[in-house]
Amino acid sequence: MTPLLETRSLSKTFGGLKAVQNVDLRIEANRIVSVIGPNGAGKTTFFNCLSGIYRPDGGSILLEGRDITGRPPHQVCQLGLSRTFQNIRLFPEMTVLENVLVAQFQHRSLSPLPLLLHSPHFCAQEKQSRDDALGFLDFVGLAQYADTLSSSLAYGLQRRLEIARALATRPRLLLLDEPAAGMNPQETIDMVRLISSIRDRGLAILLIEHDMKVVMTISDDILVLDHGVPIAHGAPDHVRKDPQVIKAYLGEEISN
């Protein structure tokens, strides 16, 4: 069967630095796959290649069998791959609801003309968009904050809003770059639940996460990068016992 996403020997260098080297990865629909590795291992660079922010300088990326290597981010998004960022990227001066609406409109490439002409068609479309956006906010637990300025949301809730925005572009594969970074233990547990419920909606998730408890609990499959090189790949039980992985983490706790 054609996997949802496949990378073949994906590589990216910056000057002389090989940030990602020959990464082969297959993600099936409805799976949670984590990418782990020490700081600077190339995890975010790998995401940036997948989502079209960086053009890889070797290898290829196939989304549902279609070669998307080198496509710009908006095209990759329209083809079904959406992401969040390690550093939150919201429109701070917009409300929570507006942030999701903008993501929806960007995705659908709608013309603003019907809006300017106040056409009945647009009104129906606008109502549908609002209802859809509120549905995504409800799903991530932010419905009550719809009219709040996004910049005044607590940090953990801003992370949830980022996920609502990504979901609003209707991806089949969602890339999450450290969604639980900076969260307290309860927020982290809630984030794990949210990620599981996204998978229950039928999406596949590619996750970068430092919290090994989270990674080991939630992942079907784990890819370990070290200095851009894949050093292990497989189920959590396989990866946590791998001597190279233990060495790369220099004794960090990965057994829980």
Ligand X SMILES: Nc1ncnc2c1ncn2[C@@H]1O[C@H](COP(=O)(O)OP(=O)(O)O)[C@@H](O)[C@H]1O
Residues near ligand X, by CB under 6 A: 14, 17, 19, 37, 39-45
- What is the nearest approach in angstroms of Mg ion to the Cβ of residue 77? 20
Residues 38-97 touching Mg ion, rule: CB under 5 A, are 43-44, 86
Q: Which residue is nearest to Mg ion (CB)?
A: 44
Bridge pairing between strands 173-177 and 204-208? parallel
> Which residue's CB is nearer to ligand X, number 47 or number 136?
47
Q: What does the angle CA 215 – CA 73 – CA 97 come to, to the nearest 5 degrees? A: 75
> Which residue's CB is nearer to ligand X, number 38 or number 114?
38
Size of the site for Mg ion (CB under 5 A): 3
* Residue in this structure with the two tokens 């998307």, named with its chain if needed: 68
User: How far separated are the first and last CA of the chain, in Å rounded?
Assistant: 33
Calpha distance 255→136 (Å, rounded): 35
- What is the nearest approach in angstroms of Mg ion to the Cβ of residue 74? 22
- What is the nearest approach in angstroms of ligand X to the Cβ of residue 12? 8
Calpha distance 156→158 (Å, rounded): 5
Nearest to 2 by CA among 67, 78, 56: 67
- What is the nearest approach in angstroms of Mg ion to the Cβ of residue 47? 8
> Which residue's CB is nearer to ligand X, number 19 or number 97?
19
Bridge pairing between strands 66-67 and 17-27? unpaired
> Which residue's CB is nearer to ligand X, number 201 or number 247?
247
Interface ranges with Mg ion (CB under 5 A) = 43-44, 86
